[in-house]
Amino acid sequence: MLRVGVTGGIGSGKSTVSRRLAELGAVVVDADEVAREVVEPGEPALAAIRARFGDEMLCPDGSLDRAALAAVVFPDPDALAALNAITGPAIMERIAERRSAVPADRVTVFDMPLLVERRLWVHEHLAIVVQVDVETRVRRLVDQRGLDEDDVRHRIATQVDDAERRAAADVWLDNNGTPAELLAAVDELWHERIAPFNANLLSGIRTRRPDRSAVVTAQRDWAERGARVVARLAAALARTGLGVDVTHLGSTSVPGLIAKDVIDVQVGVPTLDDADRPEFATAMRDAGYLLSEGNLGDTPHPRGADASGWAKRFYGGCDPGQVVHVHVRETGAQGWRFALLFRDWLRAVPEERDAYAAHKRALLAADPRTDVYTEAKEPWFEQAWGRASAWADAAGWTPTPGERVAAE
């Protein structure tokens, strides 16, 4: 089952996107709808709101006076936090129940205004952010919904800004145009990415890089893409109870370096036996990553070194919109260490980064096939290992993994 999160600021049009995804076949769980349900008369959350904010929060018929509550909590961060503490757990429990009941072959969409604010996007395979300029949102909400302009601006100010949303967004849907343009963008997204992603998960098919001409110029968003992969894997692996480290590395982690458009991530595990545990494979698959059988190690450096220090497990992602390779290595092993060293060395020494880029171009000019290109780089890596190790000794370098996931 593919999990998709949809979010956006008030007035962005995220509900329109969710409705279209439902028409295309997704099962949508609307957080706002659930939020209304959990505060209906007779619900424990409504009683808690009354106890915290007073009888004046109720209408004569015993239902919640939403306008009165909004007037209290939106201007007051502490009051808003208190409300969220009451309603948040009840909402998330009911959402989990709804999503767990969705058939395994369907796409489930979580329509959630606070997907970014509450960092819930890390549990979704894809996060879609619907974006509209602030002034356009204000005008739409005032003119089309009849809302008070000051209230609208205050609500917008309490939400995260576009920079934070963009960092969490796998898909950035611009809704500054016409409704027809937005629907066309959603249709394209469904057919080209969402439906194939779900099919890959169901069929156990990982996304592979192109066979030829796979190297591209450095992309400005590689760091953000890598950070999202790291965050999702860290969240998924936290449930295993293992203490692991998750790091973006490889060429896409080095600013300015040409590379295959592949996000490489390293997961450090206490021992490789931990990576073979069923709960590890289950967590990886739930996050959208499949084990590649037979890919059990890297080329040892220097030549002739003990191969056991370069053993690993390899997983590939299923997202057709982003190829991801996950290298699972034992924390502290030579292969784990060198992956971090190579990244940090190229970041710290621009001349070596540029020399590596020139070598890549030369190999591609000779033969652009991906497998041939990959194999041809090994002699260069053998020489680079020595230079990188000398730099590490001189600089006093020590490995610094990325996100650390504590055992629960």
d(CA 169, CA 75): 28
Exposed / middle / buried, residue 152 (Cβ in 10 Å: 0-12, 13-18, 19+): buried
Per-residue tokens: 187 = 């249709």
Sheet holding 171-174, edge to edge: 27-30, 108-111, 3-7, 126-131, 171-174
In this structure, the chain runs to a length of 408
CB 387 within 8 A of CB 346: no
Inter-helix orientation angle 44-53/77-100, to 10°: 180
> In 146-211, which ranges are E strands?
171-174
15 annotated to a ligand binding site: yes
Per-residue tokens: 18 = 């969710």
How many CA atoms, within 13 angstroms, populate the side-chain half-sphere of residue 5? 25
d(CA 73, CA 76): 5
Q: Which helix or strand (DSSP H or E) is residue 284 part of? A: helix 278-286
Helices (H) and strands (E) in the chain, counts: 17, 13
Closest CA to 12 of 160, 208, 229: 160
| Residue found under tokens 């343009």 | 181
14 annotated to a ligand binding site: yes
d(CA 87, CA 81): 10
Closest CA to 75 of 174, 153, 171, 14: 153
12 annotated to a ligand binding site: yes
DSSP 8-65: -STTS-HHHHHHHHHHHT-EEEEHHHHHHHTTSTT-HHHHHHHHHH-GGGB-TTSSB-
312 annotated to a ligand binding site: no
> Positive or negative CA dihedral for 138, 141, 143, 144?
positive
Binding-site sequence positions: 11-16
Binding-site sequence positions for ATP: 11-16
